[in-house]
Structure formats: structure tokens, C-alpha cells
Structure 1
Amino acid sequence: MPRFISVPRLLVLVPLLSLGFADPAPAQTRDVAGARDYPGIGRFSGSVATGYAVKDFDAARMQAAAFKDGQPVDARRLEGRIIRIAYRSNPGPSILEVSRNFETQLAKAGFETLLACDTDACGGIPFTEAVDALPIPQMWIDGFNYRYFAGRKVSGGSETYASVLVSQNNQDICAQLVVAELGAMQNKMVDAAAMAKGLGETGHIALYGIYFDTDKAVLKPESRPTLEQIAKLLTNQPQLNVFIVGHTDSQGAYEYNLDLSKRRADAVAAELAKSFRVVPTRLRTAGVGLLAPVGSNATEAGRALNRRVELVAP
């Protein structure tokens, strides 16, 4: 049996989606940027991570029972920290072998089986259409040939779900692991009063309500409430000027992270000037990359704390 490499934490959910055949994608020889295996689970030996997405709070769909007459029987919507990882293995192993390895690792990690089925027993193509999946080419799903596993783990008062979907594209085996660590959304909104207090007491305040996609410096729409509060702060204190400082975690090259953090700070300043009519001269920007961590870059939780934008008083 192939060696299965163990890694940290988990909760899974599987995406499905393919109907028919597609041209083969260029061979990928290394993991996508920032990809990491889920602790305690790992990956099938020799596979490459083709997709990776982590959300501190999101929703994922998981099937805890096979379909009946083309309809779900036990579809669950899970909210909390959601981790989605897609892998591709070169030709050789079967769908069943890759899936069984994941299933064994999940069992060792304490997950009880909710559902384990193959194509027809799961419900065919309609089943795959009801499962979350990373987009092609990160994850390929053949609705005529796949295996699905879903499990649940309760430990120390916390509840985690995990699902694995394994399919095939040409001769390559594609697998997606989805882990859902259930939990309530943390309130990351910092209002103008809290910003003023932080600047007055410590000279800076970290903002976690400003969002960017991985490796991007384009503000996401959900950043607007925090931007509104920054604008309110500056309106309430017309003599106040601030530095907007971008921070990253330690993933990626040093020079790249310095540049990315600066571009993100610039994007915040530009949006404040454009949409909220803040005078640009009141905003200076800087990017320090990974040089001022507030958490350990050895853990996902610590890296999440380090990815932030800060306001700094001159």
C-alpha cells in the first residue's frame, strides 16, 4: 500500500462537478502557492496540491446519506472554518485505493463514518452536483466515476466534519478534501471609536475586516463596512493623518510578500480616496510583509492573525 503522509487537523467536504471529457491540463509538478496538508490527514503519496482555499468563516455542503430518486436525503449545511484542498495523483493508483487511504487516515484521526459510497450507490451525477467543489482545473469530477466519503468527529466540545471526493480525469486521480470546523463567526468589525481608542493608547490598531483573495491586492466587497469606519474616524478627527500598513504571513518569498503587503495598503488608501473622499495626503502607505507577526507562522491560526492591515499613528 502506498505510504500516506500524515499532517495536521481537519474537517472535510467534497466538491463535485464534471460532466464529460475535457482536454488534459498542463502537468503540474508542484503544489499551488500557499497549499498545506490538513494536520493529521495528509495526502496520498506522490500527489500534488492543485487547489487550496481556507476561509475563517464560510459555509460548506456535505451529504451524510446517499441520494434517493435523484434527491438528497441528509444534506447538511456546515458553517465555521472551512478548508478545501484538491490533489492530483499521476496514473497508477485506482480511485478506490486513494479514497481508502484518506478514509483510513480520517478513522485514525477519530472521524466516524457517515457515508461511504461509489458512483451508483451515491446517486450518480445529481449527487456530485450537490457537493461543493473547487473549480476546474483545481478539481476535476467525472459524474460517472467517483467515490465519496463523509465523516464526523466530536472532541472536547468541538464538532468537525470531513468529506473526500475522489474521481478521475484522463488517467490522473483527482481528490478533494473538505474540512468544516464548526463554530460561530467571530466579530471582526472594528468601529471608528475602537480605532480612535487603539491609536490613542498604543499608536496602532489591527483591522481584520479588510479582505483580499490569496496573492491578490484587489479589495473584496465585504471590506466596505470597515472602510466606512476608517472614513468615519478621519471625518471625526480632521487633523488626524494615518499610516496604512499591510502585513502578510510567512508563506511565499520575502520580497514578494513585501511587495504584496504594500500593494494591499495602497489599495486601501486608493479606495478611501475614491469612494469616501478622504484627502490622499492624509494617508501614507507601507508594506512590511512578514516582519511584524502577532501570531506564530507555524500554525494556520497564527498565520490568519498575521494577515492584516493596520492603522498607525504618525
Structure 2
Amino acid sequence: MPRLALAVAAAIVFHLMPSLTAPAAAAAGDVTKSHDYPGIGRFKGSVITGYDVKDFDAATLQAAPFKDGKATDPRRVEGRISRIAYRTGPGPSILEVSRNFESQLANAGFETLLACDVDACGGIPFSETIGALPIPQMWVDGFDYRYYAGRKVENGRETYVSVLVSKNNDDIFAQLTVAERYAMQNKMVDAAAMAKGLGESGHIALYGIYFDTDKATLKPESRPTLDQIAKLLSGQPDLNVYIVGHTDSQGAPAHNLDLSRRRAEAVAEDLVRTYKIVRTRLNTSGVGFLAPVGSNGTESGRALNRRVELVQP
């Protein structure tokens, strides 16, 4: 083959090589406490603009184009839901960014359910069903986007994934949504179980107390567990407890120690204010990530480590 032909062929091969980088813990410009989804990564030069991971939530992905403005094969998945939005500066096209994600997902074992552009997907009505993170985390132009959905079954666990790529001015935005299907764990621990745990082990982990990421304000969903803590303490007037906050290892150690302490204090303050528990019965402490019960190297392990514990002195 002539040298010129060889050079052209080499250039084509180089151009088509995937541009997704290996998953990284964080990059300059990423939003706080965010990271790539393991095994997928990001398009080169991208920064994370939005990051939302729920241990249990629901996401709807489209496995087929719309017909007459309506979904024909929506897949609603309940389980662990990860939504990560990226921004890439001017240069690449929507198609290039999407194709790189599609190639990476194929390598990760996902089968393609749907890959389409605007008109083939179903236009604006289709783009409005994606569950995109809010502006400015993610921008979606209903007249200019590409969508991919895939599915993988591994070791009996079903995982769905979608990628929506669109544009705002010259910047490319991409949202990766990963939905790992599984049944919700029963995280409710009643007063009797708390008393049993304290009596047998001297402590009990509570996973029914919820905070927003990096916040120490109790969420309304925490009320049933707080009711049970109050029931335990009201039923045993001589019982004093330590309320201990725990975090995962994401973020600076000093920050996590302070955050875990503030979360423990938020629980104590609510028990005093709402249930009239005497404050001197409630000691508080925060140990950050220093007492893990799971691996901080995995999402499932980090979920176990984010907890509040009652400890009997």
C-alpha cells in the first residue's frame, strides 16, 4: 500500500478510537463529591456538572421510539439510580460524544435497546420524558439531541442505562443514567429492635434517617425512624444513648468528621424539640468514615457506611 494511503488509514483509525477516559474519582471543575460511574468513565475534557445518586429510587427509560407522541416501550426501573451530567467544551459533535458512550457501554456488556436522533426518537415529547437533571446541571434542546438506552443482566442482576446528549450554545451536555434494579430493603427498625440491638451488641445502625448529600438537615422521610427512637427512649426513662453519625470516605476527612457530628446533633435536637426527650440523655458524636461496615471502594459499601448509630454507654 502506498505511504499516503497508509497515513490516511492510520489517521482514520486514530480518529475513530474511543475518547472516553477511564473512570476517575474526581477532576478539576467537577461538582463536589461526584465521580464517574465505575467502568464507564467520561468523554475527554468533560467536567461533571450534576450528580444525583439514590440508594433506592425509580427511573423510566425508553426502549423504543415514540409513536404519535406517546411512549411505546417505557421501562420503569426501581433500585439504585445514578444520574451524572457532563459538560464538554466546543469541538466535538453530539454524535461523537454519544458514540463514545455507546462504544464504552457495549464493551461493558450492555445490549442496545434504542439509539436514535431527534426525529427518529419522537421529537420534543420524547426528550421531555428523560428525567434530566435541572438547568444548569443539564441542558436539553428538544430539537437537537441523541438518545441511547441499553440493558445488561449479570449474576442475576438487571441494569439499565441511558445516555442523552444535547447542546447549549457550543457546549455539549451529556447525562448518563444508570438504573440497577432490585427490591427495596426494609430499613425500618422499630423500638423493640433498637432495644434488642442495644442489649445484645451495645449499638444498632439506623438506615432510616435521611439527609441530602453534604447536608445536616433531616429530611421528612426520617420521621418514622425518629418516632421509634422516641418510643424507645420514652419507654425506658433511665436509658441514655450516644447518637453517632457516620459517613462514607468521599470528601475531605475533616469535613466528613464535622458533617457526621452535625448530623448526630440534628437527630438529638429533633428528639428534644419534637418528642420532649431530655437533652442530657442524648450524647452526640461523629466519626466520619473511621468505622466502616462496608468497603468505601464500592457504591454498595459506601451506602452501608452512611448511617446513624445508637450506642449505649
Q: Structure 2 length as normaliser, TM-score?
A: 0.91
> How many Å separate the matches in 2 of 1:82 and 1:312?
31
Secondary structure of the 1:163 match is strand
Deviation by residue 1:264-295 (Cα, 9 ceiling, x = unmatched): 11111111111122121211111111111111
Q: Aligned match of 1:4 in 9, 14, 20?
A: 20
Aligned counterpart, 2:282: 283
Gaps of 5+ in 1: 9-27
State, as a whole percentage, how many aligned pairs show the same letter: 75
After the TM superposition, which parts of structure 1 deviate over 4 Å for at least 4 consecutive aligned residues?
A: none
Instruction: Select the structure of larger CA radius of gyration.
Output: 2
Secondary structure of the 2:263 match is helix
Alignment of 1:286-305 (within 5 A): 286-305=285-304
> How many Å separate the matches in 2 of 1:122 and 1:3?
25
**Cα displacement (A) at 1:35:** 1.1
Deviation by residue 1:147-193 (Cα, 9 ceiling, x = unmatched): 00001111221111000000011111000000111000011111111
Alignment of 1:154-303 (within 5 A): 154-303=153-302
Secondary structure of the 2:158 match is strand
Deviation by residue 1:196-252 (Cα, 9 ceiling, x = unmatched): 111111111111110001000111111111101100110111100111111111111
> How many Å separate the matches in 2 of 1:42 and 1:283?
44
**Cα displacement (A) at 1:7:** 3.6
Secondary structure of the 1:257 match is helix
The verdict on how the C-alpha distance between 1:307 and 1:235 changes in structure 2, with shifts beyond 3 A counting, is: same
> How many Å separate the matches in 1 of 2:110 and 2:293?
32
Secondary structure of the 1:80 match is strand
Aligned counterpart, 2:146: 147
> How many Å separate the matches in 2 of 1:129 and 1:73?
15
> How many Å separate the matches in 2 of 1:303 and 1:156?
21
**Cα displacement (A) at 1:29:** 5.0
Aligned counterpart, 2:6: none
Aligned counterpart, 2:31: 32
Deviation by residue 1:30-83 (Cα, 9 ceiling, x = unmatched): 111111111111111111111111111110011111111111111121111111
Alignment of 1:23-172 (within 5 A): 30-172=29-171
Deviation by residue 1:80-122 (Cα, 9 ceiling, x = unmatched): 1111111111111000000000000111111111111101111
The amino acid across from 1:5 in the alignment is T
The amino acid across from 1:163 in the alignment is S
The amino acid across from 1:190 in the alignment is V
> How many Å separate the matches in 1 of 2:148 and 2:236?
56
**Cα displacement (A) at 1:304:** 1.0
Secondary structure of the 1:133 match is coil
> How many Å separate the matches in 2 of 1:158 and 1:291?
31
Secondary structure of the 1:301 match is helix
Gaps of 5+ in 2: 1-14
Query: How many residue pairs are counted as aligned between the two chains?
Result: 295
**Cα displacement (A) at 1:3:** 2.9
Query: Alpha carbon RMSD of aligned pairs, Å?
Result: 1.4
